[in-house]
Structure 1
Amino acid sequence: MRFIVSLLFLLLSASAISAPKANLWPYWQQYATTNSQTVDHGRWQRLLDKYLVVQPSQTLFRYGRVTDSDKYELDRYLRDLTKLDPHQLNRNEQFAYWVNLYNAQTVKLILDNYPVSSITKLGGFFSFGPWDQQVLTINGKTLSLNDIEHRILRPIWRDPRIHYVVNCASLGCPDLQPEAFTASNSERLLEKSAARFINSRKGVNPQSGNTKISSIYDWYGSDFGSQSQLQKHINQYRQGPPITLDKIRYDYNWSLNDAK
């Protein structure tokens, strides 16, 4: 029995490493070109203000301190978002909508199952995490977190910096930003998120003989291009001497980004 469990764990881990490819869901391509409708992300911002802990090298979340009333506010925020028709939003509003929706839903999944040591423990015995679970319904269509990231955000916007702003509640993940995304601040937060991650040890950590970089650059290598393109991307944001990626190794920490 122990051998079978170990084998299943290895198989699930391997499937996690084989990250989903960007596969456009055409239904979500439509957007408004003249509509000036905006989305209120105030409830999400208030939760971030109250429970996010920004440290020099790591952002954590106080899952264990979230009150029942604030859990209700998070639920209400998510319900309000799912009642909207994203097709009626312009492209910038859409981007902020999907990023905030992804991050807020991830926090909700952790809160619904807290205490938990890692998000990878969610999703059932035969799942490595909850990313394929149908957790949201918008315009009558059910969506998973993977749908939002890999079938909407990545194929529509085609921006590798997306990987720096969708948070998987793990210590190895790019930090959850203390600001809710909006149509007006998205570009600034994309740049800020990229710089913060690349200049953190979990993102890029030059060491004697090799450079340790996040497994994100392995899993989503197609989004960052060739090795030389990835090196140029990293050095664009890196503070300090430029690095070379001649010898690299990948690393990722799936432990929960929990502020005890």
Structure 2
Amino acid sequence: MLVGLISIALLVAAQSVRAAPSAELWERWSAHDPASTTVLQHDAWDAFLSRYVSEHADGVNRVDYAGVSRADKRKLADYIDALTATRVSGLNRAEQQAYWVNLYNALTVVTVLDAFPVASIRDIDISPGLFSDGPWGKKLVTIEGEQLSLDDIEHRILRPIWQDPRIHYAVNCASIGCPNLQTSAMTAANTEEFLDAGAVAYINHKRGAEIVGGRLVVSSIYDWFEEDFGGDDAGVIAHLKQYANPDLKAALADVTKVSDDRYDWDLNGTVAFTKSSKKRKTAQEWRSRGS
């Protein structure tokens, strides 16, 4: 009987990681005020990013989690408190998008700092549920009386409201395989530049797309969230071409399918921790976590 129960548990766990979270609108957060002229200040987050996020020669932006001072962690917490005290439903759409992206990224950084040192964000198992993995399902903040998790922000607000695949280049999951955490904050004024810069940087790095032996190997993000990139290989390739530099675009000219995908869940810190958790999985084993 015990063996049978274990087998069932493993089957359930395997099924639970086959598909990425769908973009399902939380209608509560669709409210906005097109006439609002309120401009949110993200100076504290911008200062944190400029101090602790650095561009490395390998093309991966790294966060100096180990170097964050108590004072700066407190300032980051105060910034999050200020965001959560904001009546976001009264903002215009542009301000809302920057609000949710910055909140998501700041919460992710604080979550890592609270658990640091860790080798991977997936080792921070605070989400509810027997087969949960990582922090994404944990209710971290309360806004306008509603408790929200990182999954809520990404999959129930950002993705369904804006329906823009570039969202995946804006939110950061604290991993090497993820699009870069940029060195400045997103604002309503710089949104298009911010999203395009994220797309260009990621797609033209081997983490995003690479031709290996004539075969197209992409980030697992394009597999997990294929629906956001056209729904099939052709849609993914068309998206890549839109932001590819001349060399990559030429290499993609005759490519008709995605041959493989990969993802690196190691922490995007300036200090590497090699001690593995028994919970760690490879990209092939884990198919349900995106940016």
* Length-normalised TM-score, structure 1: 0.94
The answer to whether the 8 Å contact 1:32/1:90 transfers is: yes
Provide the residue aligned with 1:131 in structure 2: 136
Provide the residue aligned with 1:255 in structure 2: 266
Instruction: Give matches, 1:1-260, under 5 Å.
Output: 12=13, 15-56=16-57, 57-124=59-126, 126-225=131-230, 226-239=232-245, 240=247, 241-243=250-252, 244-260=255-271
Q: CA deviation at 1:34?
A: 1.1
Q: CA deviation at 1:237?
A: 0.9
Give, as a single letter, the amino acid of the residue that structure 2 aligns with 1:54: E
Percent of aligned pairs with the same residue? 42
SS of the aligned residue for 2:139 comes to coil
SS of the aligned residue for 1:60 comes to strand
Matched residues in 1 for 2:219 and 2:92: separation? 33
Matched residues in 2 for 1:79 and 1:5: separation? 43
Matched residues in 1 for 2:11 and 2:169: separation? 27
The answer to whether the 8 Å contact 2:20/2:224 transfers is: yes
Matched residues in 2 for 1:201 and 1:189: separation? 20
The answer to whether the 8 Å contact 1:78/1:101 transfers is: yes
Query: Deviating runs (4+, > 4 A) in structure 1?
Result: 4-14
Q: For structure 1, which runs of at least 5 residues remain unmatched after alignment?
A: none
| CA shift in 2, pair 1:17/1:104, >3 Å | farther
| CA shift in 2, pair 1:175/1:16, >3 Å | farther
Matched residues in 1 for 2:216 and 2:25: separation? 33
Q: CA deviation at 1:10?
A: 8.6
Matched residues in 1 for 2:261 and 2:205: separation? 14
Give the RMSD, CA atoms, in angstroms. Answer: 2.0
Size of the aligned set, in residue pairs, is 258
Stretch moving more, 5-14 or 130-139: 5-14
Matched residues in 2 for 1:221 and 1:96: separation? 24
SS of the aligned residue for 2:216 comes to strand
Summarize deviations over 1:76-111 as a string: whole Å, max 9, x none: 000000000111111000000000000000000000
Matched residues in 2 for 1:62 and 1:7: separation? 41
Stretch moving more, 206-215 or 12-21: 12-21
